[in-house]
Copies of this chain bind each other. A is one copy, B any other.
Amino acid sequence: MLEKEIIVGVIGAGRIGKLHVSNLKNLPNVRVKTVSDVFIDHLGEWFETSGAEQLTKSYQDILNDPEIDAIFICSPTNTHIEIIKEAAITGKHIFCEKPISFSDKETMEAFEVVKKAGVKFQIGFNRRFDRNYSKVQGLVEAKEIGDLHILKITSRDPEPPSLEYVSTSGGLFMDMAIHDFDMARFVSGSEVEEVFVQGASLVNPEIGKIGDIDTAIISLKFANGAIGVIDNSRQAAYGYDQRLEAFGSKGSANVKNETESRVEFLSKDGVKEDKPLHFFLERYNDAYIKEVIEFFEAITNDSEVSCTFKDGIMAQRIAMAAKESLESGKPVKVKLLEKLTIN
A149 proximal to B (CB < 8 A): yes
Q: Is the CB of B275 within 8 A of A252?
A: no
Q: Flag the segment in A8-16, A39-47, A79-87, A227-235 that touches B.
A: A227-235
Contacts A215-B149, A221-B198, A229-B217 given; does A266 touch B249 at CB 8 Å = no
In angstroms, Cα B275 to Cα A196, docked, is 33
Q: Flag the segment in A178-186, A257-265, A304-312 that touches B.
A: A257-265
Chain B contacts for A272, CB-based, 8 A:
269-273
A216 proximal to B (CB < 8 A): yes
A132 proximal to B (CB < 8 A): yes
Q: Is the CB of B250 within 8 A of A256?
A: no
| Number of A residues with CB within 8 Å of any CB on chain B | 73
- Copies of this chain in its oligomeric complex: 4
Chain B contacts for A220, CB-based, 8 A:
198, 217
Contacts A249-B237, A272-B271, A275-B268 given; does A152 touch B261 at CB 8 Å = no
The minimal Cβ–Cβ distance linking A70 to chain B, given in whole angstroms, is 22
Choose among B199, B231, B254, B262 the residue that contacts A263 (Cβ–Cβ < 8 A).
B254
Chain B contacts for A263, CB-based, 8 A:
132, 135-136, 139, 253-256
Q: Is the CB of A251 within 8 A of B227?
A: no
Q: Is the CB of B225 within 8 A of A249?
A: no
Ordered by A's residue number, 25 sampled pairs between the chains whose C-beta atoms are within 8 Å are A132-B261, A132-B263, A149-B215, A150-B215, A150-B233, A196-B196, A198-B220, A198-B227, A202-B249, A217-B227, A229-B231, A233-B247, A235-B249, A236-B247, A238-B271, A250-B268, A253-B263, A253-B266, A257-B262, A270-B273, A270-B275, A271-B275, A272-B272, A330-B331, A331-B331
